[in-house]
Amino acid sequence: MSFFRWDLFFKVGAIMLLTAETSLLMYLYSKSRRRRGKAGVLSNTPVFHKVLFFPDKQIPCQKYLLSPKGCTRTKCFYSHDETSSFLQLIRHVLKSQRSIDLCIFSITCNELAHAVLLKYRQGAKVRVITDTEYMNLNGSKIPDFMTEGISVRHDRSSYLMHHKFLILDGNVVVTGSFNWTQSAVIGNNENVLVTNHADVVQPYLDEFDKLWAKFDVEKRG
Query: Taking the complex as a whole, how short is the minimal distance between the CB of residue 33 and a copy of itself, in angstroms?
Result: 14
Q: Minimal CA–CA distance to 115: which of 167, 179, 183, 66?
A: 66
C-beta separation of 87 from 77 below 8 A: no
Return the residue of 41, 170, 190, 196 that touches a copy of itself, per CB under 8 A: 190
Residue 144, CA atoms < 13 Å, CB-side half-sphere: 18
Return the residue of 183, 209, 213, 216 that touches a copy of itself, per CB under 8 A: 183
Residue 101, CA atoms < 13 Å, CB-side half-sphere: 19
Point out the catalytic residue in the list 11, 49, 162, 214.
162
Read off φ and ψ for residue 15, nearest 5 degrees.
-65, -45
Using the rule CB under 8 A, is 24 a contact of a copy of itself?
yes
Site string for a copy of itself, 84-103 (x = CB under 8 A): --------------------
C-beta separation of 61 from 49 below 8 A: no
Using the rule CB under 8 A, is 59 a contact of a copy of itself?
no
CA 68 to chain centre: 24
Q: Which of residues 130-169 bind a copy of itself (CB under 8 A)?
A: 155, 157-165
Using the rule CB under 8 A, is 207 a contact of a copy of itself?
yes
Residue span binding a copy of itself (CB under 8 A) among the ranges 64-72, 82-90, 110-118, 193-201: 193-201
Using the rule CB under 8 A, is 112 a contact of a copy of itself?
no
Report the residue number, 30 or 157, with the smaller CB distance to a copy of itself: 157
Query: Taking the complex as a whole, how short is the minimal distance between the CB of residue 144 and a copy of itself, in angstroms?
Result: 23
Query: Taking the complex as a whole, how short is the minimal distance between the CB of residue 188 and a copy of itself, in angstroms?
Result: 4
CA 114 to chain centre: 18
Asked about 49 being catalytic, the answer comes back as: no
Distance (Å, whole) CA 48 – CA 195: 6
Burial tier of 131 (Cβ tally within 10 Å: 0-12, 13-18, 19+): buried
Asked about 169 being catalytic, the answer comes back as: yes
Distance (Å, whole) CA 64 – CA 79: 8
Distance (Å, whole) CA 131 – CA 124: 23
Binding site for a copy of itself (CB under 8 A): 14-15, 17-18, 21-22, 24-25, 28, 48-49, 51, 53, 55, 105, 155, 157-165, 175-178, 183-184, 187-191, 193, 195, 197, 199-200, 203-204, 207, 211
Question: Known catalytic residues?
Answer: 162, 164, 169
